[in-house]
Structure 1
Amino acid sequence: MSMRTLPLVFVNLGGEMLYILDQRLRAHNTSEDNSEKVMNDIVGTMFSKAFIDELLKPQHLYSHRTMKTVLTRLAHASIMRLNPASMDRLYDLMIMAFKYQVFLCPRPKDLLLITYNHIDTIRELVKDTPTVVNTVDETHRKIIETYSRLSDGEFQLLRQTLLIFFQDIHVRVSLFLKSQVQNPNGHFVLQTSGPVPHGIDVPGLIRIFDCRGKGVRRCEFPSGGSYTSPIREGSLDLRGDRVTKLGTNMFTTEHPEETHTSKTPSVKTDDSPNLLAKEELNLLARLMGSMKAQNTAKDETGFQINLFPTDQEEEAGASGGAHESSFGVVNIQAMQDEQAATELARIAGEFAEEEAAENTCSSKGDDLLAMMDDL
């Protein structure tokens, strides 16, 4: 697992959140003053010096539960308040948009292009507030300084950590379904054609060398795709149609329905009851600052907003119900027999293992949340 993944995940998910919030605020005809204040407050908190310095320290990537809690607190750093259902769907959209962009990367190092494009667009959203723009510029400089020193192997490890983070998350998004880049089951369509990354040969050739390093034989094999020669490093074509999508805003005010998600199994792991529910709620209360944060929210003169029309979402999700059967479901009989007791004990053990793993980074998440409260 890479110890440098967390900053990229936070900045890119935060960028996607700002894209969606900007689109939905415009769609709801929110006043310009309120929209500008929301953006400035969120970006100011997100890129504050103390917060970024803590974030850039080598550390393990957070679990989805902790990451979602941090981003929820970030969204509520302004006068805007989101209900839990809106935050759930907002997080699903953020995850799927970032996941799709990671899949578009021709090489691991291009993950930085996603981050740089997100930062450039965030800078544009707060361009009328110089103090906030300065914090964005400083964060941009620190990210370049931190990640420009990483080797190709470290970028590959970072990419593998991201893929593990996205594993088994297949939320259907109407924008991707309409563009036919996502299948009805939520999996993305991966292209097997186009230019290969710089420094990589077109697949289809096997070279065999002797013990002295001299080539003795070569043979060919079908690559299964239509590949072209590598893109020349430094060429203007390096950020062609495929790569320019990395980190750009895919959500527009002209098509608000494209931010809809359907009812597929998502990353919400807290909703199902389990034997450690009390411990999970206690952890969540500590991360959220318990009642202190609630009292602070009541004192602020903010506004509530429902980002997504729930009724329409339910109707859209009903059409995809046939695909839910393809996911495994464990059914447990509520009977006092030996088999049920064994199954419950096994599941309780799994939750205990997950809880132990999550506690490793929960203290770090608590520190970042406390720092966010101070800001």
Structure 2
Amino acid sequence: MFSKTFMDELFKPQTLYSHRTMKTVMSRLAHASIMRLNPASMDRLFELMLMAFKYQVFLCPRPKDLLLISHNHLDSIRDLVQDRPAVQNQVHETQRRLIETYTCLPPGELQLLRQTLLIFFQDYHIRMSVFMQSRVQNMNGRFVLGTTGPVPHGAEVPGLIRSVNKYFHFHEEVQRCQFPTGGAYTSAVREGSFDISGDRVLKLGTNIQCLAHLLLNYIPVTVWRQTECGPNPLAKEELNLLSRLMGTLQSESEPRPGPEKGFRINLFPSDREEDEADAEESWSGVINIQAMKVTPIRAEARVKARHCRWTGKRLIQLNCDIS
């Protein structure tokens, strides 16, 4: 997995893999060991891996912290292969290339990288029991953003607006105004280490089972209950509004009209309706042609033509009897 050939191909500048290509790579990596999975189990494993990584990217405090998540992944792998010095050297080399490639990127390119990953994951909403038990995923498979906890490194706790006088050289502060934020945010913690070894501080990218207990303190119960509410009534109101605009539904405040007939709109006609309409169309313009020859072979052809109401074209049917 950490061979030089594979890493060279992985770090090569290229477009994002498609879902099918990514699944093929994951399947080959899983079957590189003695483990063998049937197609159904492989599909489930692929979905779980995607949802776990989507959660980490989704809750990433800032784009630069994507590197800390990758370092946590590599640190965990290094701990698993402590008795394999050759594999540890490969992991060490991978972390070195990760630092050289991505540490120098500006925040704008890191944000573009994060947005590209989220676009790749946007159609996946698979429910995971560990996330649902920790109240970070609701029943429709979407994640819940908490309104508590520390703010990202380099940011201030929201809730304060400062007004300064722009005519002074040092921009003297002249007024302060506070506003409710709707959450319980705290000051930012120290920044994690981006070196090959060190304290990452960020827990995303570590064991999900251990992370689930920490998430219970940052996702309030009120947010979880709000996500479990019933269906949105706006959909029904939009359909009622469309019916009123067409005149097929009268509101309670409007007077009821007399015995006036409305109209009906069918947006999705079926084949059965087309067949019924086609059967009602009568035959027209029938032409009989008879050809006689000296030879005992006689051919009789009948040409029937009709106008198709739904195409506006003439349909020709030939029936030939040879005796």
Q: TM-score, normalised by structure 2?
A: 0.58
Provide the residue aligned with 1:230 in structure 2: 188
Please report how far the alpha carbon of residue 148 of structure 1 lies from its aligned counterpart in structure 2 after TM superposition.
1.2
Distance of 1:111 and 1:225 partners within structure 2: 25
Please tell me whether residue 101 in structure 1 is matched to residue 56 in structure 2.
yes
**RMSD, aligned α-carbons:** 3.0
Distance of 1:83 and 1:184 partners within structure 2: 28
**1:141 to 1:333, Cα distance in 2 relative to 1, 3 A:** farther
Provide the residue aligned with 2:82 in structure 1: 127
Provide the residue aligned with 2:126 in structure 1: 171
Deviations 1:226-247 (A, max 9, x none): 1112224469xx855xx32x11
Please tell me whether residue 57 in structure 1 is matched to residue 44 in structure 2.
no
Between structures 1 and 2, the one with greater helix share: 1
Deviations 1:317-365 (A, max 9, x none): xxxxx99xxxxxxxx8873889xxxxxxxxxxxxxxxxxxxxxxxxxxx
Please report how far the alpha carbon of residue 84 of structure 1 lies from its aligned counterpart in structure 2 after TM superposition.
0.8
Provide the residue aligned with 2:91 in structure 1: 136
Distance of 1:334 and 1:160 partners within structure 2: 41
Provide the residue aligned with 1:81 in structure 2: 36
Provide the residue aligned with 2:140 in structure 1: 185
Provide the residue aligned with 1:162 in structure 2: 117
SS across alignment from 1:81: coil
Distance of 1:220 and 1:161 partners within structure 2: 35
Deviations 1:139-168 (A, max 9, x none): 111111111111122222221112212213
Provide the residue aligned with 1:335 in structure 2: 271
Report the number of matched residues.
212
State percent identity of aligned pairs: 67
SS across alignment from 1:116: helix
**1:70 to 1:234, Cα distance in 2 relative to 1, 3 A:** closer
Distance of 1:122 and 1:67 partners within structure 2: 21
Deviations 1:164-190 (A, max 9, x none): 122132100111112222111111121
Please tell me whether residue 113 in structure 1 is matched to residue 68 in structure 2.
yes
Provide the residue aligned with 1:250 in structure 2: 208
Between structures 1 and 2, the one with greater strand share: 2
Structure 2: state its 5+ residue gaps. Answer: 194-198, 211-229, 232-267, 275-323
Please report how far the alpha carbon of residue 199 of structure 1 lies from its aligned counterpart in structure 2 after TM superposition.
1.2
Provide the residue aligned with 1:147 in structure 2: 102
Please report how far the alpha carbon of residue 118 of structure 1 lies from its aligned counterpart in structure 2 after TM superposition.
0.8
Amino acid at match of 1:170: H
Distance of 1:162 and 1:61 partners within structure 2: 8
**1:170 to 1:189, Cα distance in 2 relative to 1, 3 A:** same
Please report how far the alpha carbon of residue 251 of structure 1 lies from its aligned counterpart in structure 2 after TM superposition.
5.4
Provide the residue aligned with 1:67 in structure 2: 22
SS across alignment from 2:36: strand
CA contact (8 A) 2:153 2:190 kept: yes
**5 Å matches for 1:39-50?**
46-50=1-5
Distance of 1:333 and 1:228 partners within structure 2: 58
Amino acid at match of 2:104: R
Provide the residue aligned with 1:4 in structure 2: none
Deviations 1:246-297 (A, max 9, x none): 1112259xxxxxxxxxxxxxxxxxxxxxxxxxxxxxxxxxxxxxxxxxxxxx
**1:233 to 1:122, Cα distance in 2 relative to 1, 3 A:** closer
Distance of 2:40 and 2:209 partners within structure 1: 19
Distance of 1:163 and 1:209 partners within structure 2: 38
Provide the residue aligned with 1:352 in structure 2: none
Structure 1: state its 5+ residue gaps. Answer: 1-45, 253-321, 324-331, 339-375
Deviations 1:19-76 (A, max 9, x none): xxxxxxxxxxxxxxxxxxxxxxxxxxx2110111121122111122211111112212
Amino acid at match of 1:167: Q
CA contact (8 A) 2:72 2:200 kept: no
CA contact (8 A) 2:7 2:94 kept: yes
Q: Which has the higher contact order (CA 8 A, sep 6+)?
A: 1
Amino acid at match of 1:247: G
SS across alignment from 1:219: strand
Distance of 2:187 and 2:12 partners within structure 1: 38
Amino acid at match of 1:226: A
Deviations 1:195-237 (A, max 9, x none): 11121121223345566584565533322211112224469xx
**1:146 to 1:191, Cα distance in 2 relative to 1, 3 A:** same
